[in-house]
């Protein structure tokens, strides 16, 4: 079946976003990344910065605060905690977008949210820590915290987020139709393979 939606999950610094953009350009698909954050922010009245953070990371930085996130904290909207409210709205908006037109969606749990759509190709982009460190510094510049620490922190929080909202372990091949090591294979090659798969029957 032809794939008209490409859901790309990626490790921070792996170049998954750039790959997604290339795929969208090649196929003439719409590209959702920051645009999705804007959409969720517009529809909920929550600031983009908060949606950006809450829609992929739990505030939790370790298992204790992770466990507490199921019970603690104030309920902000519709009797839900902020995290949960953003997830519910984001899920709804992603499902709406998938109905509308062919698109590439980067991150935001789209692989899980669209898991039942036969026309959705699920992709994971990952890379070695060394490759990602070099890329993060080049893309986002040096910060006070080292690239390695920033990456490991994002990895940890994304893993917890994914576990909390999907019940799945992050990084398992079985959750994707294809996973690619962008550091080893190169961004262009990854984009070519994904675009090729989407075009096939």
CB closer to a second copy, 164 vs 168: 168
Does residue 184 interact with a second copy by CB under 8 A?
A: yes
- Angle (nearest 5°) at CA 7 between 31 and 142: 70
Query: d(Cα 190, Cα 196) in Å, to the nearest integer?
Result: 10
Does residue 197 interact with a second copy by CB under 8 A?
A: yes
User: Residue 10 CB, nearest distance to a second copy (Å)?
Assistant: 11
Chain positions 115 to 154 lying near a second copy, rule: CB under 8 A, are: 124, 126
- Binding segment toward a second copy, per CB under 8 A, in 50-58, 137-145, 159-167, 178-186: 178-186
CB closer to a second copy, 80 vs 178: 178
Query: d(Cα 132, Cα 138) in Å, to the nearest integer?
Result: 10
Residue with token string 């930085």: 61
Does residue 193 interact with a second copy by CB under 8 A?
A: yes
The neighbour count for residue 148, using CB atoms within 10 Å, is 13
Q: Which structure tokens are listed for 115? A: 């898991």
Q: Which structure tokens are listed for 177? A: 């139709």
Q: Which structure tokens are listed for 72? A: 């603690």
Does residue 180 interact with a second copy by CB under 8 A?
A: yes
Does residue 173 interact with a second copy by CB under 8 A?
A: yes
Q: Which structure tokens are listed for 167? A: 């019940």
| Binding footprint of a second copy on the chain (CB under 8 A) | 124, 126, 171-174, 176-181, 184-185, 189, 193, 196-197, 200
């Amino acid at each position: 079946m032809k794939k008209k939606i490409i859901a790309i999950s990626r490790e921070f610094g792996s170049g998954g976003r750039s790959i997604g953009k290339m795929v969208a350009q090649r196929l003439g698909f719409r590209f959702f990344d920051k645009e999705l954050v804007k959409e969720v922010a517009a529809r909920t009245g929550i600031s983009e910065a908060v949606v950006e953070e809450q829609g992929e990371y739990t505030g939790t930085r370790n298992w204790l605060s992770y466990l507490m996130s199921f019970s603690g904290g104030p309920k902000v909207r519709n009797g839900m905690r902020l995290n949960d409210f953003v997830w519910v709205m984001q899920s709804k908006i992603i499902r709406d977008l998938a109905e509308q037109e062919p698109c590439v969606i980067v991150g935001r749990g789209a692989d899980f949210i669209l898991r039942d759509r036969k026309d959705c190709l699920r992709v994971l982009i990952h890379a070695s820590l060394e490759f990602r460190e070099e890329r993060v510094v080049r893309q986002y510049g040096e910060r006070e915290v080292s690239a390695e620490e920033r990456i490991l922190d994002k990895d940890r929080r994304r893993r917890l987020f994914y576990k909390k909202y999907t019940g799945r372990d992050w990084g398992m091949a079985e959750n994707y139709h294809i996973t690619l090591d962008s550091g080893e294979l190169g961004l262009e090659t990854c984009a070519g393979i994904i675009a090729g798969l989407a075009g096939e029957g």
